[in-house]
Amino acid sequence: MRYKVTVCYDGTNYCGWQVQKNGTSIQTVIEHALEVITKTPSSIASSGRTDAKVHARGQVFHFDSDANLKEDQWVKALNANLPEDIVIRSVEKADDLFHSRFDAVWKRYSYTVNMGEYDPFKRHYEYEYNRRLDVRSMREASKYLIGTHDFSAFNANSPEERPNQVRTIYEITVRESKGRVILEYVGNGFLRYMVRMMTQTLIEVGKKKIKPEKVKELLDAAKKNSVPFNAPPEGLCLEEVGYTEYESGISPVSK
């Protein structure tokens, strides 16, 4: 039986989703929990990697098992065997052909920047920029990113690794709440560091270091390494992975 799982994690103490030489990966910890439950080696496949210190509220992965457990029993058993910073939100029976990565139709990421005073309680969950940004200019600049573009400029993969760098961004919202700027991105896929590179570029606009139109220029040039900006990982969160056509209207992130 194949299962589709939604998982929420605080990525602070991990080297990211993917197994790495150094540090503990989220994938390893979840596979270990599955092995404890099923007594057999298990492997899981996610909708995509998240980098070190990046969070997820709605990462999705799938796994196969013949263990005779109901969906809610899987949730309980997994959470009982996971540390307090990784939480399974749901386990659903899936089609045998379901694939968390190949079937994903869209993803939604949020990025939070604190413009107010340094907040030690949120330091792992937002970028502590702690200075004012021009949010209106950031919103203006974000419009250039929406649509289907070659995102080569906003990409850390090598072209060999990821030859097609055309992606579609359906929606970007830039809103202000409690001294924070919260950016949300919905797209059909994101290249490595793409959200963080776009975000830092918009932050540079907010600092008035570059003009909003510069974003269009960078996009149009579609030249790798032309964007030297990469926002810190702690502000980033994978909010949701969609498996049906995206319907516009981002619901506000509950913070």
Give the residues lining the site for a copy of itself (CB under 8 A).
8-10, 55, 84-87, 89, 117-118, 120-121, 123, 125, 178, 254
Minimum Å gap between C-beta 31 and a copy of itself is 19
- Report the relative pairing of strands 236-242 and 106-114 from DSSP bridges: antiparallel
Q: Indicate if 85 belongs to the active site.
A: no
Give min distance, CB of 253 to a copy of itself, in A: 11
Measure the CA–CA gap between 160 and 158, rounded to whole angstroms.
Answer: 5
Cβ contact 223:152 at 8 Å = yes
User: Which amino acid does the sequence have at 140?
Assistant: E
| Complex with a copy of itself: residue 10 or 184, whichever CB lies closer | 10
Q: How far from chain centre, in Å, is Cα 201?
A: 17
- Between 70 and 118, CB nearer to a copy of itself: 118
The residues pairing with 91 across neighbouring beta strands, listed in sequence order, are: 5
Closest by CA to 44, choosing from 10, 83, 78, is: 78
Q: Are strands 106-114 and 127-128 parallel, antiparallel or unpaired?
A: parallel
**Which uninterrupted H or E stretch holds 106?**
strand 106-114
Q: How far is the CB of 118 from a copy of itself (least distance, A)?
A: 6
Q: Which residue among 10, 51, 66, 96 is the active-site one? A: 51
Compare residues 26 and 210 and give the one whose CB is closer to a copy of itself: 26
Nearer to a copy of itself, 120 or 228 (CB): 120
Of the two residues 19 and 118, which places its CB atom closer to a copy of itself in the complex? 118
- Who's near 250: CB < 8 A, 6+ residues apart? 108, 171, 173, 184, 186
| Tokens matching residue 206 | 């907010």
Provide the minimum distance between the beta carbon of 237 and a copy of itself in the complex, in angstroms, as a whole number: 9
Instruction: Determine contact, residues 231/114, Cβ cutoff 8 Å.
Output: no
State the nearest-atom distance from the C-beta of 204 to a copy of itself, in Å: 24
Residues identified as active-site: 51
